[in-house]
Copies of this chain bind each other. A is one copy, B any other.
Amino acid sequence: MPRSFTTGNGHLQVSQNLRFNCQAPKGNDANQLLQTACERYKKVLSQPDGLLPEARTKEAAAGQLNTVLVIVKKDNTKLDDKTDESYDLRVSQNGEAIITANSVFGAFRGLETFAQLVRRTGKESYLPGVPLQIQDSPSYAHRGLMLDTARTYFSVDDIKRQLNAMAVAKMNVLHWHIVDSQSFPLVSEVHPELSEKGAYSPDMIYTKRDVQGIIQYARERGIRVIPEFDTPAHTYAWSLSHPDLLVCGKNEPWDKVAAEPPSGQLDPTNPGSIKLVGELLREQATWFTDPYMHVGGDEVNQKCYTDQPHIAQHMQEKGINATQLIAGFAQQLHNITRESGKVPVTWEEALLEYKVDMGKDTIVQVWTTADHVKEVVKKDLRAIVSPANFWYLDCGQGGWVNTAKGFNSWCDPFKSWQHIYTYDPLTNLTGTGNDDKSHPNILGGEVALWTEKTDSLILDMKLWPRAAAAGEVLWSGRRDINGNERTTVNAQPRIFKLRRRLVQHGLRPDLISMLWCELHPGGCELEL
């Protein structure tokens, strides 16, 4: 839903030979990016939109649309949390469509909006609601999707398919949780042994070329790729090539020392641990182009460390406890990240549990509960919100642990698109009135998919269309221009349509409600 718009009730027939006139400054790769995007949207516009037939306005066609003029004003193609994604779209009665944007990435958003407005039945294309004026820009700079490729490996094509969908939902950050305890699919060139021993199989890997291909594909859609290298917990797969660096690995009952199997944490008292992680981070800082680098830091089990005699002795000698030990490791990671030219991102525990004394540049991702967002803001740090009780897409679909009793997921119930849609990242923030639309410390948010129970066959339906419910909150804000909360009743027709667009893009998304409800707007409502 755009920030502001006015529409008329005429419509234009869209020419079968719709011409794109796409103009960007020659500096950087702005023009190249724009031409690629225009070619892509030209193709999209030549194909049916996959939507249901709609009642047409009775008014005769106001004319024909032959040309889309796209004007990018600046050659800045830096893709980061300051990127200007605003755009202006105007279509006049006389049949000219003009998209104006400060950056090429803003132009991408305008092209997507334009493509979504043109109805393409397969027999004809037309643009209703003319004359049309849209001024649009996102409420939040960070509109992300976290995908875990370690519990389950996903092919490069699987990932690109999600990037296509993200562009439709105007989401702009892929948080790539690339390695974890279960597998290490990334083929490092300085430490190739990590994936040689740690990948699920020699076919289930990401080479440097794969990584760079994904980054470029994302960039062509205005999407940042932020990699995560989660340590010191969630590292069992690292130990397959570096057994000496891991403690409390699989020999112990996993549930005593870890959140899930296989257990094992890097030993912070072994200098080899920070050396290995540091070397990997420094290498990856050159592969990944985004200014952010996520260093993980979640779910570090203290008992795992205190149980080890040599670690206990180390702590005693240094006069520190387990949280201080963990904090020290995290601080080293943050420093290495900064030295590599990146902004460190960390899961919330580093701040709220291990009390790492963080630089003010550090970004904290909140996940355990939405209530913790205000704790981060209080400490005047910037937050990314992805609370499990609202935005974890893997919840509520049954337990995956093999147990006599634990049949439910740990974060029941299922997060329906409606539940996702009603989460406001600004909830309970001191210094944010209920009618405020932003907070300087809230960069934005992410929906997250941990893949204990998801593989390629069902990936699309686990992510979509629910991710787009968060996408709209992050682009448009929970409240409209008049300060009123947006409702799921109003959003539902947009989600129905978005799902059909995704099917047209080759995805297999979840169904939010049966065809009868889609065919009969208002017919499936209920006031409780």
Residues of A within 8 A of B (CB): 151-153, 181-183, 200, 250, 254-255, 260-262, 396-409, 412-419, 422, 451-455, 457-458, 461, 487-489, 492, 503, 508-517, 519-520, 523-528
Contact of A514 among B151, B407, B512 (CB under 8 A): B151
Contact of A406 among B181, B457, B517, B528 (CB under 8 A): B528
Contact of A517 among B398, B400, B489, B508 (CB under 8 A): B400
Say yes or no: A398 contacts B412, CB within 8 Å: no
Closest to A148 in B: B514
Contact of A419 among B398, B414, B454 (CB under 8 A): B398
Provide the main secondary structure of the chain A interface.
loop
Say yes or no: B404 contacts A527, CB within 8 Å: yes
Number of copies: 2
Tell me the minimal C-beta distance from A197 to chain B in angstroms: 14
Q: How far is the CA of A208 from the CA of B125 in the complex (A)?
A: 38
Tell me the minimal C-beta distance from A489 to chain B in angstroms: 5
Other than the given A398-B416, A408-B414, 20 more pairs (CB < 8 A) read A151-B514, A151-B515, A182-B514, A250-B523, A261-B517, A261-B523, A397-B397, A397-B416, A400-B514, A402-B488, A403-B488, A403-B527, A405-B528, A407-B416, A407-B419, A409-B414, A413-B413, A413-B414, A455-B511, A457-B508
Provided the pairs A408-B413, A492-B402, A524-B400 are in contact, do residues A451 and B514 lie with their beta carbons within 8 angstroms? yes
Contact of A397 among B407, B414, B458 (CB under 8 A): B414
Say yes or no: B526 contacts A255, CB within 8 Å: yes
Say yes or no: A512 contacts B453, CB within 8 Å: yes
Task: Find chain B residues with CB under 8 A from A509 CB.
Answer: 457
Task: Find chain B residues with CB under 8 A from A488 CB.
Answer: 402-404, 407
Task: Find chain B residues with CB under 8 A from A151 CB.
Answer: 514-516
Q: How far is the CA of A185 from the CA of B452 in the complex (A)?
A: 38
Task: Find chain B residues with CB under 8 A from A398 CB.
Answer: 414-419, 512
Say yes or no: A514 contacts B152, CB within 8 Å: yes
